[in-house]
Amino acid sequence: MAHSMTAFARHGSTGDWGNAVWEIRSVNNRYLDVNLRLPEELRGLESQFREQISNKLKRGKVDCTLKFKTEAQQESLKVNLALVEQIATAGKEIAGVVYETAPLNPLDVLNWPGVLHKSDLDLELTGKAIASLMDETLETLIDTRLREGQKLAEMIETRCAAATEEVAKIRQRMPEIMQSLNKKLLDRIEEVIERMDESRLEQEVALMAQKMDVDEELDRLDAHLTEISRVIKQQGPIGRRLDFLMQEMNREANTLGSKSAHMDSTEASIELKVLIEQMREQIQNIE
Protein backbone atom coordinates (compact mmCIF):
# COMPACT_ATOMS: atom_id res chain seq x y z
CA MET A 1 0.00 0.00 0.00
CA ALA A 2 1.19 3.50 -0.79
CA HIS A 3 2.05 5.70 2.19
CA SER A 4 2.48 9.44 1.84
CA MET A 5 5.48 11.04 3.54
CA THR A 6 3.49 14.12 4.57
CA ALA A 7 1.60 13.97 7.88
CA PHE A 8 1.24 15.42 11.39
CA ALA A 9 0.33 13.81 14.72
CA ARG A 10 0.07 15.07 18.31
CA HIS A 11 -0.58 13.06 21.48
CA GLY A 12 -0.32 13.95 25.16
CA SER A 13 -0.42 11.99 28.41
CA THR A 14 -0.28 12.67 32.15
CA GLY A 15 0.78 10.35 34.97
CA ASP A 16 2.59 10.18 38.30
CA TRP A 17 5.80 10.77 36.35
CA GLY A 18 4.56 14.09 34.91
CA ASN A 19 3.03 15.42 31.71
CA ALA A 20 4.30 14.86 28.16
CA VAL A 21 3.21 15.87 24.67
CA TRP A 22 4.70 14.48 21.44
CA GLU A 23 4.38 16.42 18.18
CA ILE A 24 5.60 14.64 15.04
CA ARG A 25 5.65 16.16 11.55
CA SER A 26 6.92 14.47 8.40
CA VAL A 27 7.50 15.65 4.83
CA ASN A 28 8.98 14.00 1.76
CA ASN A 29 12.68 13.23 1.67
CA ARG A 30 14.88 10.80 -0.22
CA TYR A 31 15.95 9.01 2.97
CA LEU A 32 14.84 8.91 6.61
CA ASP A 33 16.04 12.11 8.31
CA VAL A 34 15.00 12.40 11.98
CA ASN A 35 15.28 15.64 13.96
CA LEU A 36 14.58 15.16 17.70
CA ARG A 37 13.95 18.00 20.15
CA LEU A 38 14.09 16.71 23.74
CA PRO A 39 14.28 18.31 27.20
CA GLU A 40 17.79 18.15 28.59
CA GLU A 41 16.81 15.74 31.39
CA LEU A 42 15.59 13.19 28.81
CA ARG A 43 18.50 13.53 26.39
CA GLY A 44 19.77 10.11 27.48
CA LEU A 45 16.74 8.47 25.82
CA GLU A 46 17.44 9.94 22.37
CA SER A 47 18.87 6.74 20.84
CA GLN A 48 15.85 4.77 22.07
CA PHE A 49 13.42 7.23 20.48
CA ARG A 50 15.37 7.26 17.22
CA GLU A 51 15.20 3.48 17.05
CA GLN A 52 11.43 3.58 17.63
CA ILE A 53 11.00 5.97 14.71
CA SER A 54 13.26 4.01 12.34
CA ASN A 55 11.34 0.82 13.14
CA LYS A 56 8.10 2.46 12.00
CA LEU A 57 9.15 4.84 9.21
CA LYS A 58 11.55 4.24 6.31
CA ARG A 59 11.59 7.53 4.42
CA GLY A 60 10.83 11.19 5.05
CA LYS A 61 12.13 14.20 6.95
CA VAL A 62 10.68 13.72 10.44
CA ASP A 63 10.61 16.46 13.10
CA CYS A 64 9.79 15.19 16.61
CA THR A 65 9.28 17.55 19.54
CA LEU A 66 8.69 16.42 23.14
CA LYS A 67 7.20 18.86 25.67
CA PHE A 68 7.70 17.50 29.17
CA LYS A 69 7.06 18.59 32.77
CA THR A 70 7.60 16.57 35.92
CA GLU A 71 5.05 16.62 38.74
CA ALA A 72 7.43 18.82 40.73
CA GLN A 73 7.63 21.33 37.87
CA GLN A 74 3.84 21.43 37.62
CA GLU A 75 3.51 22.31 41.30
CA SER A 76 5.52 25.10 42.91
CA LEU A 77 9.18 25.90 42.45
CA LYS A 78 11.39 25.19 45.46
CA VAL A 79 14.17 27.75 45.75
CA ASN A 80 17.37 27.27 47.76
CA LEU A 81 17.15 30.63 49.59
CA ALA A 82 20.39 30.06 51.48
CA LEU A 83 22.29 29.76 48.21
CA VAL A 84 20.48 32.80 46.81
CA GLU A 85 21.62 34.85 49.83
CA GLN A 86 25.21 33.74 49.26
CA ILE A 87 25.01 34.73 45.58
CA ALA A 88 23.51 38.11 46.49
CA THR A 89 26.24 38.75 49.10
CA ALA A 90 28.95 37.82 46.59
CA GLY A 91 27.34 40.17 44.08
CA LYS A 92 27.44 43.08 46.51
CA GLU A 93 31.12 42.41 47.28
CA ILE A 94 31.94 42.43 43.58
CA ALA A 95 29.95 45.63 43.05
CA GLY A 96 32.10 47.31 45.73
CA VAL A 97 35.24 46.55 43.73
CA VAL A 98 34.08 46.80 40.13
CA TYR A 99 32.42 50.05 39.08
CA GLU A 100 29.36 50.33 36.82
CA THR A 101 28.23 46.76 37.26
CA ALA A 102 24.74 45.80 36.09
CA PRO A 103 22.21 44.97 38.83
CA LEU A 104 21.82 41.27 39.61
CA ASN A 105 19.03 39.77 37.52
CA PRO A 106 16.75 37.39 39.51
CA LEU A 107 16.21 35.21 36.42
CA ASP A 108 19.98 34.78 36.10
CA VAL A 109 20.08 33.73 39.74
CA LEU A 110 17.39 31.09 39.13
CA ASN A 111 19.57 29.58 36.41
CA TRP A 112 22.47 29.24 38.82
CA PRO A 113 23.21 25.54 39.55
CA GLY A 114 21.55 24.43 42.78
CA VAL A 115 19.24 27.43 43.21
CA LEU A 116 16.16 25.46 42.13
CA HIS A 117 15.56 22.15 43.85
CA LYS A 118 14.93 19.47 41.24
CA SER A 119 13.29 16.21 42.25
CA ASP A 120 15.09 13.08 41.16
CA LEU A 121 13.65 11.83 37.87
CA ASP A 122 12.93 8.10 37.56
CA LEU A 123 14.33 7.83 34.03
CA GLU A 124 13.26 4.20 33.55
CA LEU A 125 9.62 4.78 34.56
CA THR A 126 9.39 8.08 32.70
CA GLY A 127 11.13 6.63 29.64
CA LYS A 128 8.63 3.76 29.37
CA ALA A 129 5.66 6.11 29.62
CA ILE A 130 7.02 8.54 27.04
CA ALA A 131 8.08 5.69 24.70
CA SER A 132 4.55 4.29 24.86
CA LEU A 133 3.18 7.75 24.09
CA MET A 134 5.54 7.99 21.11
CA ASP A 135 4.21 4.66 19.76
CA GLU A 136 0.65 6.04 19.92
CA THR A 137 1.72 9.22 18.14
CA LEU A 138 3.59 7.28 15.45
CA GLU A 139 0.55 5.06 14.84
CA THR A 140 -1.59 8.16 14.29
CA LEU A 141 1.06 9.57 11.95
CA ILE A 142 1.21 6.30 9.98
CA ASP A 143 -2.59 6.17 9.67
CA THR A 144 -2.56 9.71 8.30
CA ARG A 145 0.23 8.83 5.87
CA LEU A 146 -1.72 5.77 4.73
CA ARG A 147 -4.91 7.73 4.03
CA GLU A 148 -2.95 10.35 2.08
CA GLY A 149 -1.04 7.59 0.28
CA GLN A 150 -4.26 5.94 -0.86
CA LYS A 151 -5.35 9.20 -2.46
CA LEU A 152 -1.99 9.49 -4.23
CA ALA A 153 -2.29 5.87 -5.42
CA GLU A 154 -5.72 6.60 -6.90
CA MET A 155 -4.31 9.58 -8.82
CA ILE A 156 -1.43 7.45 -10.14
CA GLU A 157 -3.72 4.58 -11.16
CA THR A 158 -5.98 7.03 -13.03
CA ARG A 159 -3.00 8.31 -15.02
CA CYS A 160 -1.73 4.77 -15.55
CA ALA A 161 -5.08 3.89 -17.11
CA ALA A 162 -4.84 6.96 -19.36
CA ALA A 163 -1.28 6.00 -20.40
CA THR A 164 -2.36 2.40 -21.11
CA GLU A 165 -5.18 3.74 -23.27
CA GLU A 166 -2.72 5.98 -25.12
CA VAL A 167 -0.37 3.06 -25.83
CA ALA A 168 -3.28 0.89 -27.02
CA LYS A 169 -4.47 3.71 -29.27
CA ILE A 170 -1.12 4.16 -31.00
CA ARG A 171 -0.68 0.37 -31.31
CA GLN A 172 -4.07 0.15 -33.01
CA ARG A 173 -3.11 2.93 -35.39
CA MET A 174 0.29 1.42 -36.25
CA PRO A 175 -0.84 -0.64 -39.33
CA GLU A 176 -2.36 2.49 -40.90
CA ILE A 177 0.69 4.55 -39.94
CA MET A 178 3.02 1.91 -41.38
CA GLN A 179 1.08 1.87 -44.63
CA SER A 180 1.37 5.64 -44.91
CA LEU A 181 5.09 5.53 -44.12
CA ASN A 182 5.67 2.74 -46.66
CA LYS A 183 4.13 4.92 -49.34
CA LYS A 184 6.43 7.78 -48.35
CA LEU A 185 9.39 5.41 -48.42
CA LEU A 186 8.53 4.18 -51.92
CA ASP A 187 8.18 7.75 -53.14
CA ARG A 188 11.56 8.57 -51.61
CA ILE A 189 13.14 5.55 -53.31
CA GLU A 190 11.77 6.60 -56.68
CA GLU A 191 13.32 10.04 -56.19
CA VAL A 192 16.80 8.80 -55.38
CA ILE A 193 17.03 5.50 -57.25
CA GLU A 194 18.33 7.07 -60.45
CA ARG A 195 21.09 9.06 -58.71
CA MET A 196 22.04 6.72 -55.88
CA ASP A 197 24.14 3.58 -55.87
CA GLU A 198 22.73 0.29 -54.60
CA SER A 199 24.56 0.29 -51.22
CA ARG A 200 23.34 3.79 -50.38
CA LEU A 201 19.81 2.75 -51.30
CA GLU A 202 19.99 -0.23 -48.91
CA GLN A 203 21.18 2.07 -46.12
CA GLU A 204 18.32 4.45 -46.75
CA VAL A 205 15.75 1.65 -46.65
CA ALA A 206 17.24 0.20 -43.44
CA LEU A 207 17.27 3.62 -41.77
CA MET A 208 13.64 4.31 -42.63
CA ALA A 209 12.57 0.83 -41.47
CA GLN A 210 14.33 1.30 -38.15
CA LYS A 211 12.72 4.69 -37.66
CA MET A 212 9.27 3.24 -38.24
CA ASP A 213 9.62 0.31 -35.79
CA VAL A 214 8.26 1.28 -32.35
CA ASP A 215 6.87 -2.11 -31.30
CA GLU A 216 9.59 -2.61 -28.68
CA GLU A 217 8.93 0.76 -27.09
CA LEU A 218 5.19 0.08 -26.91
CA ASP A 219 5.80 -3.39 -25.41
CA ARG A 220 8.09 -1.96 -22.73
CA LEU A 221 5.63 0.82 -21.92
CA ASP A 222 2.89 -1.79 -21.42
CA ALA A 223 5.21 -3.82 -19.18
CA HIS A 224 6.12 -0.77 -17.05
CA LEU A 225 2.47 0.21 -16.65
CA THR A 226 1.58 -3.31 -15.52
CA GLU A 227 4.47 -3.25 -13.04
CA ILE A 228 3.32 0.11 -11.61
CA SER A 229 -0.15 -1.33 -10.96
CA ARG A 230 1.45 -4.31 -9.20
CA VAL A 231 3.95 -2.33 -7.11
CA ILE A 232 1.43 0.23 -5.87
CA LYS A 233 -0.50 -2.57 -4.12
CA GLN A 234 2.58 -3.96 -2.34
CA GLN A 235 3.26 -3.63 1.38
CA GLY A 236 6.24 -1.61 2.58
CA PRO A 237 8.14 1.29 0.99
CA ILE A 238 7.50 1.53 -2.76
CA GLY A 239 8.43 5.12 -3.65
CA ARG A 240 11.92 4.43 -4.99
CA ARG A 241 10.71 1.54 -7.14
CA LEU A 242 7.96 3.70 -8.62
CA ASP A 243 10.41 6.54 -9.23
CA PHE A 244 12.69 4.15 -11.15
CA LEU A 245 9.74 2.97 -13.27
CA MET A 246 8.92 6.60 -14.08
CA GLN A 247 12.47 7.10 -15.35
CA GLU A 248 12.20 4.01 -17.57
CA MET A 249 8.80 5.05 -18.91
CA ASN A 250 10.07 8.53 -19.70
CA ARG A 251 12.99 6.98 -21.61
CA GLU A 252 10.63 4.87 -23.73
CA ALA A 253 8.33 7.84 -24.38
CA ASN A 254 11.33 9.92 -25.50
CA THR A 255 12.47 7.11 -27.82
CA LEU A 256 8.95 6.83 -29.22
CA GLY A 257 9.04 10.54 -29.98
CA SER A 258 12.53 10.49 -31.51
CA LYS A 259 11.66 7.53 -33.77
CA SER A 260 8.33 8.99 -34.74
CA ALA A 261 7.77 9.45 -38.45
CA HIS A 262 4.08 10.29 -38.12
CA MET A 263 2.11 13.00 -36.34
CA ASP A 264 -0.03 10.49 -34.38
CA SER A 265 2.94 8.81 -32.72
CA THR A 266 4.48 12.23 -31.98
CA GLU A 267 1.29 13.34 -30.24
CA ALA A 268 1.16 10.03 -28.33
CA SER A 269 4.72 10.57 -27.14
CA ILE A 270 3.90 14.06 -25.87
CA GLU A 271 0.75 12.89 -24.10
CA LEU A 272 2.63 10.03 -22.45
CA LYS A 273 5.34 12.38 -21.18
CA VAL A 274 2.70 14.68 -19.68
CA LEU A 275 1.08 11.73 -17.86
CA ILE A 276 4.47 10.44 -16.68
CA GLU A 277 5.40 13.84 -15.26
CA GLN A 278 2.07 14.06 -13.43
CA MET A 279 2.69 10.63 -11.89
CA ARG A 280 6.27 11.50 -11.00
CA GLU A 281 5.10 14.57 -9.04
CA GLN A 282 2.80 12.39 -6.93
CA ILE A 283 5.37 9.63 -6.49
CA GLN A 284 7.89 12.10 -4.99
CA ASN A 285 5.71 12.10 -1.87
CA ILE A 286 5.28 8.32 -1.54
CA GLU A 287 7.36 6.46 1.04
Write the pLDDT tens digit of every residue in 209-237. Answer: 566 667 888 899 999 999 999 999 888 88
For the chain, the domain total comes to 3
Per-residue pLDDT at 22? 96
Residues 126 and 188 in one domain: no
Q: Look up the pTM and report it.
A: 0.70
| Contact between 165 and 271 (Cβ < 8 Å) | no
**Distance between CA atoms of residues 226 and 39, nearest Å:** 50
Residues 142 and 159 in one domain: no
Is position 60 within any domain? yes
Write the pLDDT tens digit of every residue in 57-69. Answer: 999 999 999 999 8
- 27 Rama sector, left if φ>0, alpha if ψ -120 to 50, beta otherwise: beta
Per-residue pLDDT at 70? 76
Which domain, by its residues, includes 103? 81-110
Residues 129 and 66 in one domain: yes
Residues 226 and 273 in one domain: yes
Is position 165 within any domain? yes
Residues 161 and 192 in one domain: yes
| Contact between 166 and 268 (Cβ < 8 Å) | yes
Is position 13 within any domain? yes
Residues 131 and 39 in one domain: yes
Given a cut of 50, the residues of the chain with pLDDT beneath it are 74-75
Measured in degrees and rounded to the nearest 5, phi and psi for residue 213 equal -85, 105
